[in-house]
Structure 1
Amino acid sequence: MRSSKSRSRNKNNRNRPSGNVVNRVFDSSGPEGKVRGTPQQIIDKYNQLARDAQLANDRVATENFQQHAEHYQRMLSEAQREMDARREEQERQNRERQAERDRERQERMDRQEREANASAPAADPGSAAQPDVIDVNESGDTGLVETPEAKAEEKPKSARKPRRSSPRKKPEPKKAEDAPESSAKPAEGDKPEAAE
């Protein structure tokens, strides 16, 4: 046999809704008997019974059914408000978690960038891309220092002296055997002929 204490504890737990009230099935004991269903189904059933009682000109039964419907309507409204409050709280927590993750990700990226900049050698300005075109101001001055190579490129080709690939060799004198007879030297014993 149960003690009165345990009975009173169970009775208090009975009134407290457990779980999701919107989808929970209730047994309602009304003036016409038991009505079973979710709060919305019970509300609809009691509203129908109230209309039927009104058509029968039974004002007491109509009021009774409307009060039962109102009770379940209040339960349903409170449960929906609680669900909305829980949903808003969850959304707020999700936004906070997402903001925290974004902050951590940004801090990690900043840290990696700082480490990369610290470990990278100083950039050589000579390794940077150079412009293809040299800007010339109105006076025609490029602002560059003239070098001997640049001066040589500016001279027209006709003014340049042609280079010789190798020095010229002097022709060797021809031997007497190869020379024609008229140009041959007179022999020692011969006298030169007098020109006539």
Structure 2
Amino acid sequence: MKSSRSRSRSKNNRNRTNNGSGGNVINRVFDSSGPEGKVRGTPAQIIDKYNQLARDSQVSGDRVATENFQQHAEHYLRMLSEAQRELDVRREEQERQQRERQADQERHNRDRQAERDRDRATRNEQELDSQPEPRQSDISKPDNVEIEPESSLVDTPESASKPKPRRRIKKVVTDVSQSEGTEVENNIAEGISADNVQSSSEPKPNAAE
């Protein structure tokens, strides 16, 4: 007796556990004791079986059996609906948790990226601070660089082809001096010739006189 009671108690515990899980209820095989004996199957199969028996009883005119079969079908229908509702709630909860985990992961990744950026900026500042500053002597010491004086004159093709003004002036002066010299020489020559003419035109004194 004790063994049979323990077996029945453990069986009831398993049934309560299975009834609390929607997935197990939907896929679980039940043994239902109906007016005409046991009906075995999943809740959906048992519902179909009791509906078929209810239609047969209705055709035969047995209203009591028809209502009895319909009540058994409604019982498993409520059980199946509750299990389906639990599955929907569980699915929504899983999706919500998944979205939260994804959001947490994205936020964690952003925080890590921001931390890496801050560390990189800190290292760059430290590297800049650690570089030695140039000495004052190096800054004030001029470099030995020879600077050629810039010419204010710019050679252009026109200036290159034309002679320099000074040479032109010298040439003009030379030409003028040459022309003046020639004129002086001509004047001197004319003066000499005039004197000769005058001297030749004057009468010569007689020797007796």
Which TM-score band applies after superposition, normalised by the shorter structure?
Answer: 0.5 to 0.7
Q: Which residue of 2 aligns with 1:173?
A: none
**Which amino acid counterpart does residue 87 of structure 2 have in structure 1?**
M
Structure 1 residue runs of 5 or longer lacking an equivalent are 123-150, 162-196
Q: In the TM superposition, what are the counterparts of 1:34-49 in structure 2 within 5 Å?
A: 34-49=38-53
Q: How many residue pairs align between the two structures?
A: 132
Q: Secondary structure at the match of 1:116?
A: helix
Q: CA deviation at 1:10?
A: 3.8
**Which amino acid counterpart does residue 157 of structure 2 have in structure 1?**
S
1:51 equivalent in alignment to 2:50: no
Q: CA deviation at 1:2?
A: 0.2
Q: Determine the C-alpha separation between the residues in 1 that align with 2:98 and 2:81.
A: 25
Q: Determine the C-alpha separation between the residues in 1 that align with 2:36 and 2:54.
A: 11
User: RMSD between aligned alpha carbons?
Assistant: 2.9
Structure 2 residue runs of 5 or longer lacking an equivalent are 129-149, 161-209
Q: Which residue of 2 aligns with 1:158?
A: 157
Distance change in 2, residues 1:158/1:28 (3 Å): same
TM-score by length of 2: 0.55
Q: Determine the C-alpha separation between the residues in 2 that align with 1:102 and 1:14.
A: 42
Q: Determine which structure has greater relative contact order: mean sequence separation of CA pairs < 8 Å that are 6+ residues apart, divided by chain length.
A: 2
Q: CA deviation at 1:160?
A: 7.6
Q: In the TM superposition, what are the counterparts of 1:12-161 in structure 2 within 5 Å?
A: 12-13=12-13, 15-18=15-18, 20-120=24-124, 157-158=156-157
1:147-190, Cα deviation, whole Å (9 max, x unpaired): xxxx99xx6743787xxxxxxxxxxxxxxxxxxxxxxxxxxxxx
**Which amino acid counterpart does residue 56 of structure 1 have in structure 2?**
S
Distance change in 2, residues 1:63/1:41 (3 Å): same
Distance change in 2, residues 1:68/1:110 (3 Å): same
Distance change in 2, residues 1:77/1:53 (3 Å): same
Distance change in 2, residues 1:10/1:66 (3 Å): same
Q: Secondary structure at the match of 1:36?
A: strand
Q: CA deviation at 1:56?
A: 0.7
Distance change in 2, residues 1:106/1:66 (3 Å): same
Structure with bigger helix share is 2
Q: Secondary structure at the match of 1:107?
A: helix
Please tell me whether Structure 1 or Structure 2 has the larger radius of gyration of its CA atoms: 2
**Which amino acid counterpart does residue 158 of structure 1 have in structure 2?**
P
